[in-house]
Amino acid sequence: MSEYSFLIGIGMVFMLGTMSPGPSFILVATTAVSKSKMQGFGVTLGLAIGAAIFALLAIYGLYAILQAVPSMYVALRALGGAYLLYLAYKMWKRAAEPMKLIAPEEANTTNFLKAVLLGLTTQLSNPKTAIIIGSIFAALLPKETPAYSEVLLCLLAFTGDIVWYSLVVLLLSTKRAQHAYLRFKRHIDRLAGGLLGLLGVKLIID
């Protein structure tokens, strides 16, 4: 078991990175308070799948490619930043629109799948995640990894997102949190949209 001890350090770093504020957190938080708990978990699942995909790509060389070809990294960041700006625009535009909360019985599979796709697209829109994961691997992976390490690393990335964002959904999908959201919807949506827009701009020009 000691040959897999490096996974503990990587898992802790993954979790700390997941808990840091960013577009993923904003998306989960706003979905949890403005829509159904099911859709909140759908976004969470999409984010976790995206994290696992980035881990897999980092293992098989995307990190090295993005370092070797800066223009590709710049292009991916520009596309990702543009996508975040699009989400910010939609959130800001709909801030003043009245809405009602979705009852649990009104939540359906279609909405869940759309939420999964939204979470996945948002995660994959940030190529910086691939660089961060690649850097973690470069710093903490041993020169020779034991069998099945690739699978375990992807599971770590997946689990970190699932655990943290599920907690966020459970905390923010309560009736008290949702009614507070309805009361201050315009301000919350515009704040969230503004933060997403700033993150999109930062991704492009940083």
Cα 197 from chain centroid?
16
Picking from 157, 169, 171, the residue whose alpha carbon sits closest to that of residue 39 is 169
What is the count of structural domains for the chain?
1
Whole-number pLDDT of residue 63: 63
Residue span of the structural domain in which 120 resides = 5-205
Picking from 11, 89, 78, 85, the residue whose alpha carbon sits closest to that of residue 51 is 11
Count of alpha carbons within 13 angstroms of residue 100, beta-carbon side: 4
Whole-number pLDDT of residue 78: 84
Count of alpha carbons within 13 angstroms of residue 42, beta-carbon side: 20
Residue 148 DSSP one-character state:
T
Whole-number pLDDT of residue 30: 87
Q: For each successive 10 residues of the chain (206 residues), what is the average pLDDT?
A: 72 79 85 86 95 86 71 79 84 71 58 92 82 74 73 89 92 82 79 84 81
Whole-number pLDDT of residue 115: 93
Q: 184 in the Ramachandran plot: left (φ > 0), alpha (ψ -120 to 50) or beta? A: alpha
Output the DSSP codes for 80-112. Answer: HHHHHHHHHHHHHHTTTS---PPPGGG--HHHH
Q: For residue 91, with 0-12 CB atoms within 10 Å meaning exposed, 13-18 middle and 19 or more buried, which class applies?
A: buried
